[in-house]
Amino acid sequence: MAYDQANAYEIIELYGLTEKGAALPIPEDHILTDHIVRETFEALLGQLRNTGLEAEIEPLAHGLATILQRRKIAIGKELDRTADKIGALAKSHDGSEIAETALEEAQGRFLQLREIVGAIETMSEAAAECYEVETGHAFIPASGSRASLRAQETGAVFEAKQLLEQHDRETAAKSTVEGVPLIVSGATDWTDVDLIFTTLDKVRERIRQTRNQEIFLCHKGGRHGAEMIAARWARARGVPQARFDPRWSAHGRAAPFKCNDEMLDDRFAATGVVLFGGNGVALNLGQKAEAKGMTVMRVADPAKKTAGE
């Protein structure tokens, strides 16, 4: 027990966490049941045996087990509300940074609550067992049901969950983007629409011939210049797009460079990069892509060529 506490304190000191930090670890099941619940029961009730307060053991033990039971139900309801919130945020997502941050926070809270519910449920079951050992009676909560969340499922609930899971699978299948990822970036002041359309047409056809696959376009969702024109090309050609929005609130000025890293992640397996002119962010993308052994195609801006002549 002392070792587990020392280890938790070391983690707090190392990462600068506070008692409110969502990153604090959840104790393992054996700690929850043995070192927390059973030792709590023994500390409170053990000293009452063979005393004039022995008759209070049963109601006190029942009260302890009931507290955990009620807390499990309360957190479970918050978990359900958070799941509903995630669904609502996903449906109303407008691509803004505010919406993206709200969705990420809701998902983080959902994962945290799910772990807490599991931990409280483990403690609740251990408390019920302690009550039964201490009193010899079966534990029946003052309200609600002792059964686990899985055991409470009726046939209708089970069918509803199956229906939702099927809907999620079908929605995911419709949203699946097949093909070869092609990353596009470039200058925000690029204006030559025809050159981008012609270049991407050629790249698309070359990949079709050499790999017998369609492409899908990956970019940072720029509202001006090369990325905006490339997005127009994709819509005109019916080519799917994957947009990697910079998260300014999370990464500050490094947000575009973080997007570069995400697009170049090995798990994403992009086939290459096309750069239409560009600034330091685009140059960074090209350098990182070449370092990974990827093909990088650089297209100069003819407007700037003319200006320099």
Of 224, 220, 219, whose CA–CA distance to 188 is shortest?
224
Q: What is the pLDDT of residue 276?
A: 94
**pLDDT of 58-70, one tens digit each?**
888 888 888 888 8
Q: What is the pLDDT of residue 280?
A: 87
Q: What is the pLDDT of residue 151?
A: 46
Using the predicted structure, report yes or no on whether residue 155 has a pLDDT greater than 70. Answer: no
Per mean pLDDT, which range of 12-21, 26-35, 234-243 is the poorest? 12-21
Of 56, 31, 33, whose CA–CA distance to 46 is shortest?
56
Domain assignment present for 170: no
Using the predicted structure, report yes or no on whether residue 265 has a pLDDT greater than 50. Answer: yes
Of 22, 146, 138, whose CA–CA distance to 73 is shortest?
146
Whole-angstrom Cα distance, residue 200 to residue 82?
42
Helices (H), 136-247: 155-175, 193-211, 225-237
Does 209 share its domain with 274?
yes
Does 120 share its domain with 36?
yes
Whole-angstrom Cα distance, residue 46 to residue 230?
73
Tokens representing 132? Answer: 């039964």
Does 112 share its domain with 37?
yes
Domain assignment present for 25: yes
Write out the residue range of the structural domain in which residue 119 sits.
2-144
Q: Across residues 14-40, what is the average pLDDT?
A: 73
Q: What is the pLDDT of residue 175?
A: 53
Phi, psi (degrees; rounded to nearest 5) at 79: -60, -45
Q: What is the pLDDT of residue 15?
A: 46
Domain assignment present for 48: yes
Using the predicted structure, report yes or no on whether residue 306 has a pLDDT greater than 90. Answer: no
Select from 116, 144, 172 the last residue of a domain.
144
Which CATH number belongs to the domain containing residue 231 in this structure?
3.40.50.450
Does 101 share its domain with 33?
yes
Select from 100, 127, 144 the last residue of a domain.
144
Does 188 share its domain with 252?
yes
Domain assignment present for 40: yes
Domain assignment present for 98: yes
Instruction: Kindly list the distances between the CA atom of residue 214 and the CA atoms of 113, 182, 217, in Å, as whole numbers in the listed order.
Output: 41, 10, 10
Does 193 share its domain with 241?
yes
Q: Partners of 295 in the beta sheet?
A: 272
Helix (H) / strand (E) containing 134: helix 97-135
* Three-state DSSP class for residue 223: coil
Q: What is the pLDDT of residue 153?
A: 46
Contact 232, 219 (CB under 8 A): no
Select from 144, 161, 190 the last residue of a domain.
144
Does 298 share its domain with 225?
yes
Domain assignment present for 244: yes
Cα dihedral: 173, 178, 183, 184 (round 10): -90
**pLDDT of 206-234, one tens digit each?**
999 988 888 889 998 888 889 999 989 98
Q: DSSP class of residue 286? A: H
| pTM check: above 0.85 | no
Q: Across residues 169-177, what is the average pLDDT?
A: 57
Does 290 share its domain with 222?
yes
Strands 272-276 and 295-299 turn out to be parallel
Domain total of the chain: 2
Does 199 share its domain with 272?
yes
Give the residue with greater pLDDT, 96 vs 152.
Answer: 96
176 — pLDDT class (breaks 50, 70, 90): low
Give the residue with greater pLDDT, 199 vs 246.
Answer: 199
Does 6 share its domain with 132?
yes
Give the residue with greater pLDDT, 184 vs 306.
Answer: 184
16 — pLDDT class (breaks 50, 70, 90): very low
Using the predicted structure, report yes or no on whether residue 158 has a pLDDT greater than 60. Answer: no
Q: What is the pLDDT of residue 170?
A: 61
Does 211 share its domain with 114?
no
161 — pLDDT class (breaks 50, 70, 90): low
Domain assignment present for 291: yes
**pLDDT of 270-304, one tens digit each?**
889 999 998 888 889 999 999 999 999 999 988 77
Domain assignment present for 157: no
Does 185 share its domain with 299?
yes
